[in-house]
Chain A
Amino acid sequence: MQEFDVLVVGAGAAGLRAAIAAKQAGAAVALLTKVHPLRTNTGLAQGGINAPLGADDSPEAYAGDILQAGDGLCDPGVVQAFTQQAGDAVMWLEHMGVPFNRGADGRFDRRQFGSNGKARSLYVDDRTGHVVMQVLYEQFQRARIPLFADWFVTSLAIDSARCVGVTALGLRSGVLDSFGARAVILATGGFTRLFMPSTVSIGTTGDGQNLAYQAGIALKDLEMVQFHPLVFPGGNALMITEAVLAEGAQVVTAEGQPIANLIGATRDKICIAILQALQNGASGVALDLTPIGAQKLHSRFSQTNELIRNFTGLDPAKDPIPIRPVAHRPIGGIEVNVSGQTAMHGLYAAGECACTGLNGAGRLAGNILTEAVVFGARAGEAAAAYAKSAPPKAFPADRLEEEKKRLEALVSAGKSEDTAGHIHGELGRLMSESAGAVREGSALQAARGRIHALKERYAQLRVRNESAIYNYELVAYLELGAMLNLAEALVVAADARNESRGAHRRSDHPARDDRNGLCHSVVTLVQGAPQADTKPVVAL
């Protein structure tokens, strides 16, 4: 067994930032991840990273835009803390080497993105996430934090309502090992692979959310899922950065009619506008990038240009690109406070797997990377402080053995008609249909029943690959289990919110209900089933 003060699970922007912060606070830190840090979903974030650094901007103005996008559900205290820290957090990235685009005066160039009232998104061409990820990983290396890459965390170790570590499967060795820690930070990213199609990487399967959920931690605002409006729906679906709208691209119907009033709109509003156009008889909707011009497409948007050409076969300098809204990022997740603390001692969460209450019912465009570095750092510091002061607690003696037996029982060679891939496909299509950008009560209830049936089929499945090294079939199986649990919880939360607010739209409740709806949803696992409840929005 290996022991550390702080263990971080997940190597995206939030995980790396948390690990660096914990190390700088004096803790002995290690990071476990199922994919290498340079292959994480952080690379998906392209358009920019928000910070109130402009002369015409302020943390207060930034807060105002967040509150507006949050449609009444943001926790103001969290918004204030976040907007106060965002500037420094992003400046730190620049000092550590992010080569943000600069204007003619050599100062940061900033984009005005989505419903931000000011141009406050710093950017690196159209690969902001990719570059931020590299700089964070470099500083992680500089801090000499041990990296366990290709390790899959299978369970949390809990003793007397306190998290004391994890069990993890080393994919390269095929061996299950235990990692003791005084504090564990979950930074495992989103869960949108439970929708099909989605915009995210293969491993975005909600592993951390499920681990916390199984441990009795509440999942907050789970029904709030951000759909991205500009997604080419063919194959595995290709997201096109919203920054293109800020630079002249237009959304048009297949008949050539531009869809109005999209500049400055929140993501969910753009999605609804597109869906409405389709309902009103348009045979399709497309993104016209030609106004950006070939030269800018090659320089400022070279990755967008490259991806569209390789993925769709179309040329954005000439052709309209068919798009429609596709599931993108969760807004809800593991309930945490502003320092990433969950309700369980020794367990923290940061990044896309966590829900601090910052975004309410809708995330402001450009916030995701800022959240990763602000809350990642806060969680790292908080976890390190806890690790310093907490009394030592032993890793439960038989946890590793139990977990080994559990995993061994899943493996059984032999043929099967049913597969994890089939179940995942059905789940994904079900969620897109029934829990998509627009939902309806009876469909959600039916969906819950169908998820049940899928879970029963899942329970019958076995992992047929008996070889231990790089058993990705076992990993996919465990990931599917997480997604089934989260899908069920999500559907329950969506059914419980009988109104339309932010990213959650109900065709049977199209209006906002400020009398009953000004509260967070929380789902907890009670006797093996998701139980929905509410929590008030925390006043300032």
Chain B
Amino acid sequence: MQATFNVYRKEPGPNSKPGRSTYSVEVAADATVMDALLKIRDEQDPALGFRGSCLRGYCGDCTVRVNGKAAFACTAKVAALAKKGPAEISVEPIRNMPVVKDLIQDWDAFLWNKIDATKPWLEPNGSTADGEQRIPDTVMAKVRKAMSCFYCGLCDEGCTVLPVDFNFLGPAALTKASRFTWDPRDHAVRERLQILERPKGMWDCVHCFEASEHCPREIAPTERIMEMRDEAFKYGITNEKVARHHLSFAASVKRSGWLDEGRLAIESEGLTNFKGLMKLLPTAVKAITRGKAPIPYLHHKREGSEKITRIIEKAEANKEK
């Protein structure tokens, strides 16, 4: 069958402007977009740049956007695309990913360097017994789930933080790091959490669930990140600003059953952080003049709040590290 492709092109270098090339190619009935690209490069345009390795959808190297949707070139079937979509099948890089050349994306900047920054290896305890340890399979199953990730980049592509802050570690790197949190053979959990709590790390996630929605393997990266944050709460949050915010929130709910927003705003900045508190002033003034500023600390306790206090005290005592 004949198929026409409209492919994103860009020469290497910061000054080149992106463009498009159109190719018509004859492919087999069961051909994939990867087959078409290989044929185009072989017969028509040897300079066309694209990546690929496994040819069967399990290595994550050929992630692209086909007709505007994230896909793997090696499993996207040309026949189905030609039947459903526009006359020209569009192929372009995925979002949030810097491009080196054409469809060759810069995985170093996008993902590999970020993973490198998280201490992404097991630190075995030197005194581990030499033989087989008994570990429940439910524990290993959780690790296996996170490790079924094949670094396709789609969670990072859907992330709402990365377009605004490219230096955010991103769901892929964070999910990979999260696996060590539940692996009883690792002895660097606390240390790794401290690395992940730094600015641009796990606390920069807005838990919008885009990552979980984009993951093709149901690894649920957003949930993994939230669980890691809960672990950090148990160990004691090391990111100072976040710690102030979270502890103030918890103290407020524990005391009165609901949130004292005024107190939260102040304590997040820090009671002695003059500069930070001054920054809040313009918004606070506007809010006060419009009658929407909750008065901090003069915060009445809800009905039944002592029951809430009791539950929270119990939960804090119960927490297992």
Q: Do chains A and B touch in the complex (CB under 8 A)?
A: yes
Chain A positions within 8 Å of B, measured between CB atoms, are 35-36, 38-41, 43-44, 53, 91, 94-97, 99-109, 124-125, 127, 130-131, 134-135, 138-139, 141-142, 172, 201-203, 234-236, 238, 302-303, 306-307, 310-311, 419-422, 463-467, 469-470, 472-473, 476
Contact A135 B53 (CB under 8 A): no
Contact A470 B61 (CB under 8 A): no
Q: Which residues does chain B contribute within 8 Å of A41, judged by CB atoms?
A: 53-54
> Across the two chains, which residue of chain B brings its CB closest to A420?
B42
Contact B32 A131 (CB under 8 A): no
Chain B positions within 8 Å of A, measured between CB atoms, are 11-12, 28, 30-32, 35, 38-39, 41-43, 46-47, 49-50, 52-61, 74-75, 100-101, 104, 107, 112, 116, 120-122, 124, 128, 130-132, 134-137, 140-141, 143-144, 147-148, 150-151, 183, 185-186, 217
Within the complex, the shortest CB–CB distance from A423 to chain B, in Å, comes to 10
Q: Which residues does chain B contribute within 8 Å of A139, judged by CB atoms?
A: 121-122
Contact B100 A172 (CB under 8 A): yes
Task: Give the docked Cα–Cα distance between A38 and B173 (Å).
Answer: 14
> Across the two chains, which residue of chain A brings its CB closest to B150?
A130
Tell which of B56, B131, B135 touches A91, judged by Cβ atoms closer than 8 Å.
B131
Within the complex, the shortest CB–CB distance from A189 to chain B, in Å, comes to 11
Contact B144 A238 (CB under 8 A): no
Contact A96 B124 (CB under 8 A): yes
Q: Which residues does chain A contribute within 8 Å of B141, judged by CB atoms?
A: 99
> Across the two chains, which residue of chain A brings its CB closest to B135?
A106
Contact B57 A95 (CB under 8 A): no
Interface-centre pick from B49, B56, B74, B141 (highest chain A CB count, 10 A): B56
Q: Which residues does chain B contribute within 8 Å of A95, judged by CB atoms?
A: 124, 128, 185
Q: Which residues does chain B contribute within 8 Å of A38, judged by CB atoms?
A: 59-60, 150-151
Task: Give the docked Cα–Cα distance between A311 and B140 (Å).
Answer: 28
Task: Give the docked Cα–Cα distance between A478 and B151 (Å).
Answer: 28
Interface-centre pick from B74, B121, B128, B151 (highest chain A CB count, 10 A): B121
Contact A39 B41 (CB under 8 A): no
Contact B134 A39 (CB under 8 A): no
Contact B47 A465 (CB under 8 A): yes
Contact A102 B137 (CB under 8 A): yes
Tell which of A101, A127, A142, A310 touches B57, judged by Cβ atoms closer than 8 Å.
A310
Q: Which residues does chain A contribute within 8 Å of B147, judged by CB atoms?
A: 99, 124, 130-131, 134
Q: Which residues does chain A contribute within 8 Å of B131, judged by CB atoms?
A: 91
Contact B100 A105 (CB under 8 A): no
Task: Give the docked Cα–Cα distance between A119 and B151 (Å).
Answer: 32
Apart from the given pairs A106-B134, A306-B57, 13 other A-B contacts in the complex at a CB distance below 8 Å: A35-B53, A36-B61, A38-B59, A38-B151, A39-B54, A99-B143, A100-B140, A101-B140, A107-B132, A131-B147, A134-B147, A464-B46, A470-B104
Q: Which residues does chain A contribute within 8 Å of B38, judged by CB atoms?
A: 421
Contact B100 A470 (CB under 8 A): yes
Contact B56 A236 (CB under 8 A): yes
Task: Give the docked Cα–Cα distance between A44 and B46 (Å).
Answer: 28
Tell which of B58, B60, B132, B186 touches A303, judged by Cβ atoms closer than 8 Å.
B58
Task: Give the docked Cα–Cα distance between A421 and B104 (Å).
Answer: 20
Q: Which residues does chain B contribute within 8 Å of A105, judged by CB atoms?
A: 134
Contact B122 A469 (CB under 8 A): no
7 A–B contacts from the bound complex (CB under 8 Å): A94-B132, A97-B186, A172-B100, A202-B52, A235-B28, A303-B58, A310-B57
Contact A130 B136 (CB under 8 A): no
Task: Give the docked Cα–Cα distance between A172 and B144 (Å).
Answer: 33
Within the complex, the shortest CB–CB distance from A243 to chain B, in Å, comes to 15
Contact B46 A473 (CB under 8 A): yes
If A91-B132, A138-B122 touch, does A102 touch B148 (CB 8 Å cutoff)? no
Task: Give the docked Cα–Cα distance between A420 and B43 (Å).
Answer: 9
Task: Give the docked Cα–Cα distance between A44 and B59 (Å).
Answer: 9
Q: Which residues does chain A contribute within 8 Å of B122, judged by CB atoms?
A: 96-97, 135, 138-139
Contact B136 A102 (CB under 8 A): yes
Q: Which residues does chain A contribute within 8 Å of B31, judged by CB atoms?
A: 235
Contact B35 A469 (CB under 8 A): no
If A53-B132, A131-B147, A473-B41 touch, does A99 touch B140 (CB 8 Å cutoff)? yes
Interface of B is mostly: loop
> Across the two chains, which residue of chain A brings its CB closest to B104?
A470
Within the complex, the shortest CB–CB distance from A31 to chain B, in Å, comes to 14
Task: Give the docked Cα–Cα distance between A448 and B56 (Å).
Answer: 31
If A95-B128, A141-B116, A472-B49 touch, does A201 touch B135 (CB 8 Å cutoff)? no
Contact B32 A108 (CB under 8 A): no
Q: Which residues does chain B contribute within 8 Å of A104, judged by CB atoms?
A: 137
Tell which of A234, A310, A466, A469 touches B12, judged by Cβ atoms closer than 8 Å.
A469
Q: Which residues does chain A contribute within 8 Å of B52, judged by CB atoms?
A: 202
> Across the two chains, which residue of chain A brings its CB closest to B47?
A465
Contact B53 A201 (CB under 8 A): yes
Q: Which residues does chain A contribute within 8 Å of B49, judged by CB atoms?
A: 470, 472
Contact A236 B32 (CB under 8 A): yes
Contact B35 A236 (CB under 8 A): yes
Q: Which residues does chain A contribute within 8 Å of B47, judged by CB atoms?
A: 465-467, 473
Contact A236 B185 (CB under 8 A): no
> Across the two chains, which residue of chain B brings its CB closest to A134?
B147
Q: Which residues does chain A contribute within 8 Å of B59, judged by CB atoms?
A: 38-40, 43, 201
> Across the two chains, which residue of chain B brings its CB closest to A413?
B46
Task: Give the docked Cα–Cα distance between A101 and B144 (Å).
Answer: 9
Q: Which residues does chain B contribute within 8 Å of A101, judged by CB atoms?
A: 137, 140, 144
Q: Which residues does chain A contribute within 8 Å of B136, judged by CB atoms?
A: 102, 106
Tell which of A127, A203, A234, A470 touches B53, judged by Cβ atoms closer than 8 Å.
A203
Task: Give the docked Cα–Cα distance between A134 and B147 (Å).
Answer: 8
Q: Which residues does chain A contribute within 8 Å of B55, judged by CB atoms?
A: 201-202, 236
Q: Which residues does chain A contribute within 8 Å of B116, judged by CB atoms?
A: 141
Contact B58 A130 (CB under 8 A): yes
Ranked nearest first, the 4 interchain pairs of A and B with the lowest CB-CB distance are A421-B42, A106-B134, A97-B122, A138-B121
> Across the two chains, which residue of chain B brings its CB closest to A142?
B121
Task: Give the docked Cα–Cα distance between A101 and B147 (Å).
Answer: 13
Within the complex, the shortest CB–CB distance from A465 to chain B, in Å, comes to 4
Q: Which residues does chain A contribute within 8 Å of B35, judged by CB atoms?
A: 235-236
Tell which of A108, A302, A307, A465 touches B56, judged by Cβ atoms closer than 8 Å.
A307
Within the complex, the shortest CB–CB distance from B73 to chain A, in Å, comes to 12
Contact A310 B75 (CB under 8 A): yes
Task: Give the docked Cα–Cα distance between A137 and B202 (Å).
Answer: 23
Task: Give the docked Cα–Cα distance between A39 and B62 (Å).
Answer: 10
Q: Which residues does chain B contribute within 8 Å of A463, judged by CB atoms?
A: 46
Q: Which residues does chain A contribute within 8 Å of B107, judged by CB atoms?
A: 36
Tell which of B30, B112, B134, B144 touches A36, judged by Cβ atoms closer than 8 Å.
B112
Within the complex, the shortest CB–CB distance from A214 to chain B, in Å, comes to 25
> Across the two chains, which residue of chain A brings its CB closest to B137?
A102
> Across the two chains, which residue of chain B brings its CB closest to A463?
B46
Within the complex, the shortest CB–CB distance from A478 to chain B, in Å, comes to 14
Q: Which residues does chain A contribute within 8 Å of B140, judged by CB atoms?
A: 99-102
Task: Give the docked Cα–Cα distance between A470 and B12 (Å).
Answer: 9
Within the complex, the shortest CB–CB distance from B231 to chain A, in Å, comes to 18
Contact B60 A39 (CB under 8 A): yes
Q: Which residues does chain A contribute within 8 Å of B42, judged by CB atoms?
A: 419-422, 476
Contact B124 A303 (CB under 8 A): no
Contact B148 A235 (CB under 8 A): no
Contact A40 B56 (CB under 8 A): no
Within the complex, the shortest CB–CB distance from B181 to chain A, in Å, comes to 13
Within the complex, the shortest CB–CB distance from A191 to chain B, in Å, comes to 16
Task: Give the docked Cα–Cα distance between A96 and B28 (Å).
Answer: 45
> Across the two chains, which residue of chain A brings its CB closest to B101?
A470
> Across the two chains, which residue of chain B brings its CB closest to A193?
B55
Within the complex, the shortest CB–CB distance from A389 to chain B, in Å, comes to 30
Task: Give the docked Cα–Cα distance between A127 and B148 (Å).
Answer: 8
Within the complex, the shortest CB–CB distance from B57 to chain A, in Å, comes to 5
Contact B134 A472 (CB under 8 A): no
> Across the two chains, which residue of chain A brings its CB closest to B72?
A310
Contact B185 A472 (CB under 8 A): no
